[in-house]
Amino acid sequence: MNGYELLDSGNGAKLERFGDVVLARPCAQAVWQPQRPALWKTADATFDREDGNRWHGRSRLPKEWAIAVDGTRFRLSGTDFGHLGIFPEQRAQWVWIREAIAAARRPLRVLNLFAYSGGSTLAAARAGAEVCHLDASRGMVQWARSNAALNGLESHPIRWIVDDAHKFLNREVRRGRRYDGIILDPPTYGRGGNGETYKIERDLTETLRLCRALLSDAPCFLLLSAHTPGHTPVVLSNVLTQALRGLGGAVASGEMLLSGAEDVFPLPSGAYARWQA
């Protein structure tokens, strides 16, 4: 049994199963009516933002638990912001990362920016790539390291970096370090440990310019995803196409979706654009 499943959505919320734990959480995109209203009564806990960020029934949740998604294990925990340590809408991207690396048939060095708890890092490492994992949150980098250990990847060549993305990228450019693949999922708004701020509408084009400078002489791919309203597949495709103009290859884009059984509406949860040589 796969450890994640979208059970239903509607009325501005989503009902999801993470292993044996069923949770209801906000989702602004779910403007339709729930299809399985009786099922919502099975939720172990709910989270809402109506009166600040607040869990209801959090005491019924395990402090930590683990699930497997497509063969990769993740450690989960309910955070004060309603996150759990996994973004399952990235599942299709994790499959694509593994396939892109396998298709290269050579050793690859991959950079994962804004890397959160490491889903894409694990996908790249499982496919055999050397990975550099960067996030501005020390706690999230530690969470990602624990996920790597959970998957037997403790000794795999992964650099774990806690830093501001642009500061790190500029240093890598000066050092002459290059990457065959780059993955990035920039936040709508983020804050670094030293007070740095990141705003996607202000900073994304500069991030992509620096990423272009870090691509190797024979790059394989660049994968960009975002959860920012207004940053649609077309928007991401346009900025990525412009940033990588002259490299050849092709850009594809689409919506990231949460999914469940065939009769459950797929739930849009962000967008992606990916370039492949």
Q: Please list the pLDDT of the chain residue by residue as tens digits (277 residues).
A: 589 999 999 999 999 999 999 999 999 999 999 999 999 999 999 999 877 788 999 989 999 999 999 999 999 999 988 999 999 999 999 999 999 999 999 999 999 999 999 999 999 999 999 999 999 999 999 999 999 999 999 999 999 999 999 999 999 999 999 999 999 999 999 887 778 899 999 999 999 999 999 999 999 999 999 999 999 999 999 999 999 999 999 999 999 999 999 999 999 999 999 999 9
Pick the CATH number of 4-76 from 2.40.50.500, 2.60.40.1180, 2.170.260.10, 2.160.10.10: 2.60.40.1180
Distance of CA 4 to the CA centre of its chain: 15
DSSP H or E run through 239: helix 233-243
Coil, helix or strand for 250? strand
CA dist., res. 148 & res. 199, Å (int): 29
Strand 221-226 and strand 267-276: the pairing is antiparallel
- Hey, which residues does 25 pair with through a beta bridge? 14
Whether 240 and 222 have beta carbons less than 8 Å apart is answered as yes
CA dist., res. 246 & res. 228, Å (int): 27
Which pLDDT score is estimated for 49? 85
Pick the CATH number of 88-276 from 2.60.40.10, 3.10.20.740, 3.40.50.150, 3.90.660.10: 3.40.50.150
Which pLDDT score is estimated for 192? 78
Phi first, then psi: what are they for 77, rounded to 5°?
-160, 140
pTM of the predicted structure, to 2 decimals: 0.95
